[in-house]
Amino acid sequence: MSFHYVPGQFRVPKIPNLTLPDGVWCGADSDAGLYAFDAGSSWGGRIISKAMCYSLYVGGSKLSPVFSSINGYVHWTGSGNVYYTQTYGWVYMSGMFPGYEPLEEYDYGSDDGRYTGDSFYALYSFPTGNGGAATLSPRGRLYGGEAREVTAKWERWTAKRGEFGEYEPKDGAEGAKWLGLPRFRGNGEYFVRSFAKTNGHFTYGRIRHAGGKWVIGEPGSDAGWHEGEEPSRDGGVTFRFTKKEGSEAQGTDIEVSLYDHVKGDEHEKAYLGEAAIWR
């Protein structure tokens, strides 16, 4: 549940029914390879995903998005290709490279209105994230044949309550994800987990790992301190008031439990990607 917020400065090809935000949350540590951003209402609003775009399915076969511009748009590739053409708009075609301009000509010598050229399908509208399908209309040598369907699927996690907190799995994703730093509360005090570890351990406000123990306060202090376990989402932790032998200091135990998740204020370097420099 560690994410960097990265303001977006990259220009990406256009995606039908999806506008990527100016910035995204990029996963770090155990969340590396994940992205969190607002994908729009048809996809459930704020999501966490391994991909920045949905996949398409034709006849049960998956076509994955490729962020390489063809006529200004992304394209999808797998058992066939879905890409944008200058002549027919969006097409689905197998056996040719993405970007190929398919050919279609009317056969004036035929008696049944036959067409010649390539075998391909035209896509006049895109499927949305609510489970709807779009029609692939046969063109070229397939003209007049049976139409096919294309659907969109995006393995992701959607926010249950607001941007920060728990995200639940959708479209084949498993388990739960969290965005934001966990904030714990005990005796009216808040303890926010750090983004980065220090000496192999997170800190939680005044809660830290010292001398092999999780403590609140300064061990050995005349005023006393508290000892417990590392805070966890899975249940509350009791920090017992502790004092030096013979000390007359008084204090009460502190019950610490998860309260919510929040945006932190720490800064870290984030790896965005690589780009070739042409000379």
**Tens digits of per-residue pLDDT, 224-236?**
999 999 999 999 9
Predicted confidence at residue 69, as pLDDT, reads 93
Per-residue pLDDT band at 111 (split at 50, 70, 90):
low
Number of domains observed in the structure of the chain: 3
Predicted confidence at residue 114, as pLDDT, reads 81
pLDDT tops 80 at residue 270: no
pLDDT tops 60 at residue 279: no
Check whether residue 210 and residue 138 sit in a common domain: no
pLDDT tops 80 at residue 175: yes
Check whether residue 170 and residue 34 sit in a common domain: yes
Check whether residue 169 and residue 273 sit in a common domain: yes
SS3 16: coil
Predicted confidence at residue 224, as pLDDT, reads 96
Predicted confidence at residue 275, as pLDDT, reads 63
Q: How far apart are CA 149 and CA 151, in angstroms?
A: 7
C-alpha atoms less than 13 angstroms from C-alpha of 191 in its C-beta half-sphere: 25
CB 82 within 8 A of CB 55: no
pLDDT tops 90 at residue 86: yes
pTM (two decimals): 0.82
Q: Domain range holding 118?
A: 55-153
